[in-house]
Structure formats: C-alpha cells, structure tokens
Structure 1
Amino acid sequence: MTTHAPLSFQPREAVGPAYSRSAIAEAQKLSWQALERIAALVRPGMTEAEVRVAGEAILTEMGMERTWHPLLVRFGANTLKIFSDRSEGDAVLGENDIFFIDMGPVFLGHEGDVGATYTVGSDAEMQACAEAVRVLFDRVRAIWDHGAVSGRALYERAEEEARAMGWVLNIDIKGHRVSDDPHSVHKGGNLGDFDAVPGKGLWILEMQIRHPKRPFGAFYEDLLA
C-alpha cells in the first residue's frame, strides 16, 4: 500500500490557496502535448535557437500563461549540461544526433514541467541512451509508487540503477517542487535532499544520464503523481 504524505504534512510541501491536484495534472498534460509537438518539428540542420523560437510559438498558441522556467533545448554534447549551464554556441543538430527539450510552462495557474530526449538518424548508442533514461525514470518512479521511500533514498537508488544499466547518473540533478504558481514562495528545495516520503502532485522527478565514454547524455522528467 502506498504511504505518500498528505499535502499538509511537510512544510516543504506547502502549496498556495489556488492549488488543485486536478489542475496541476492538467497543466502537466498540456505541457507534454506541447513538448511532443515541438519535438516533432526538430530536424537535422536546425539550431537550438530555432527550436526554441518554434517552441515558444507553440506554447503561446496553446494558451500558456507564462513560463516559470525558460524553454531549454540541448543538442549533441550540450546534452551533458545541467539546467544552469549555458550551451556551447548555438549548436546545429547533426544527421545522427541526440537532443532533449525541457520546459516549465504555466497553464491554469499551475506549473508544468516536462523533459524528454530524442534522436535523429541511426546512432545506436544515442538511441540506447534516450531509451535508457526513460527506463531509469520508470524504475525510480516505481520505487516511489510502492511508498515509504524518501526523496534522498530515491536518488541513491537511481544512482545504483543507472550504474547497473551501464550509464552514469548526473547526481547534480535532483528533482524539485512544483505547485500553483509560483512554487518558489514555498522553498521546497531539491527532491534528492528531501528526507521524507514525497507526496503526490508536488515533486518533479528528474533523471539525467551520460554515456560512460562518449560526449552525450539524456534527460527525462515528469511529475510524481
């Protein structure tokens, strides 16, 4: 039986007066729809900046109220960088390449946050990396689904799972809070530093891995709901 904490149990899980579990689920659904539309436009020869411009237009068309964090696009070796890093130049997507998209739009007054990795061409190791980060995410989320596991323990397990799968986990990426906008007033901190059991509809689980030898990686994130 899952034993997730109620919303009022932990100060780091505080929400605003407008918070709604159904609204944050809908914001996440719309965010995924937008991400898939953007990813479908990406072609070799495009730059990261071109994808951002196209993505921002799609988000606006879909009724995004604002972004709580900017649309992030990473190609090739830039997939090794964390959110706070700047990309190296305006990278151009190659014929055989890997990329990820990370976005934080606000819909219905609630914060969406989604990210996923894709490939173009036929590089088998890149394709395996993009698939592996999804598998890793699902394994860690399944651990959370069983309940009674702290956020800190989730990321310890994630590191073990990634290593067993033959990939390197970026332990600087530890997940974070979302809520009715803005979540920042609640100062929830990182999921990977949370010593209680994460509640539903409040935390983004992030996974970022890298190839053990080649200069590329993969990223995936979604709401623990």
Structure 2
Amino acid sequence: TTYIESRDLFHCCERGMALQYYKFVTIDLRLEGYNVFQIADLEMSYSGKPLVFNLGNDGCIGQSCPLDVDTAYSIDGDAPDKELPQNILDMNLETKWLDYKKSPAIIRLAKKKPIHNYRLRTANDEAIRDPVLWNLQGSPDYVNWVIMHEVANRTLGEALVPLNRSTWSTNFTIEIPCYAPTQAFIPNSPNITCQEGDILRSGSNCTTLCNDGFTPSIRTLLCKRAQLYPDSFYNCIAD
C-alpha cells in the first residue's frame, strides 16, 4: 500500500494515509477492573523501520511543546510528574508512563507520518498494571478518529503482553483506514459522502450519501486495507 498525505483525486478514495495524531486507549488491565496503568514505551514503525521521534531539547511537557516537536499527553490523565505520557516516546527503559485513571494518551507528531506496525514495552514493575485490552486510533485533524488496531479479547491480550518486565511485546499490524469519496468529484453529494463519517475503519462500510432528490448509484462501499470497493466513484442520480 502506498501512503499519501492528500486525497487521490483520480480514484474514489485514499490508498492509505499519513496521520499527525494517534491515540492509545486502554480498556482494561491484567488485573481486571484495576485503574493504575503503565507502559514504558510505544514504538511505531513504517516499512520495518521504527519512527525516530524528535522530542526537542527544551524540556517542554505535553501540549506545551512547540508544534515542530513530537510529543504525547493525556487530556484528563493523572500521572506523577516524572512518569508522564511523553515518556513512551523516549525509547528509554528507565522511564515509563503511569496513569492512575488509565486515561488515553494522545501522540501528536510534528509532521504527518504513516505507520505499518507498533509494539509496547512493559514497565519496570507491577505486571498487574499492564494493558491487556486496548486500541490504537488515528486522526488526520484531531476531530475524526478511527480505530487502526485493537485487542478486544482478554485471553489474547494477556498472551500478547509479556509478563517479563521492561520487555517488548510482539509487533502489531495496523489496519489502514480509508477516507470517504471526495465530494468535489460526485455532483449532487453532500460535503461528507459517507453516513459513517469522513474516515472509515478497515473492514467497515461506507453508506453513500446524496443531496435531497438524488439517490446513490452504489449504496454501500467497503473499506478494505486502505481502499474502497467497488473501486469507482458512485453517482447521485435524480429521483
């Protein structure tokens, strides 16, 4: 799959996408129902090469960091001063992110970047704090979010995240999402052409939309590995 940062105007959809925002959402921990969560690092890779994060050198924290550096933060988190979300980007097994409310972490990149895979490194202690149910989401604009990978089975999650401390998990493969068809190339369609929104999870459907008085020639498109099927524009036909 080829990643592009702008819409492919010659086809119905994106063939992949580079995103500026990612979100790690913890659903539950190894100790079921527990709230104190931690991981040491979150490594993201593209074409087999880990992304190199630019964390700056001015000691900035989270959202206060300038836009030309990569950072991570939590909107409503509860983390100790030395165990903040941005620690997951430093690839240092001596640091970690700990949160007493298992709040999501937002990863804000200085530039849009695509990823193929990611993996977690467990923290230095307390395996009961490991995530075993979670999802990773992506967004092009901090408004529209889409799940790109999730672990929704507890038994599977417990097997995927090592009990050993300061240890990497296996690599997880990203489900590349799709953008909705471009409105400018579908006369008599609304600004958002899919009922489900402008960005679609791989494996999900786009219910096509037209303006009042028009009906889509194709009712449903399937998002599969960054491509919509059928691979053609639908038309809005007058009723």
The two structures have a TM-score, normalised by structure 1, of 0.31
Write 1 or 2 for the structure with the bigger share of strand.
2
More contact order relative to length (CA 8 Å, sep ≥ 6): 1
The two structures have a TM-score, normalised by structure 2, of 0.30
Write 1 or 2 for the structure with the bigger share of helix.
1
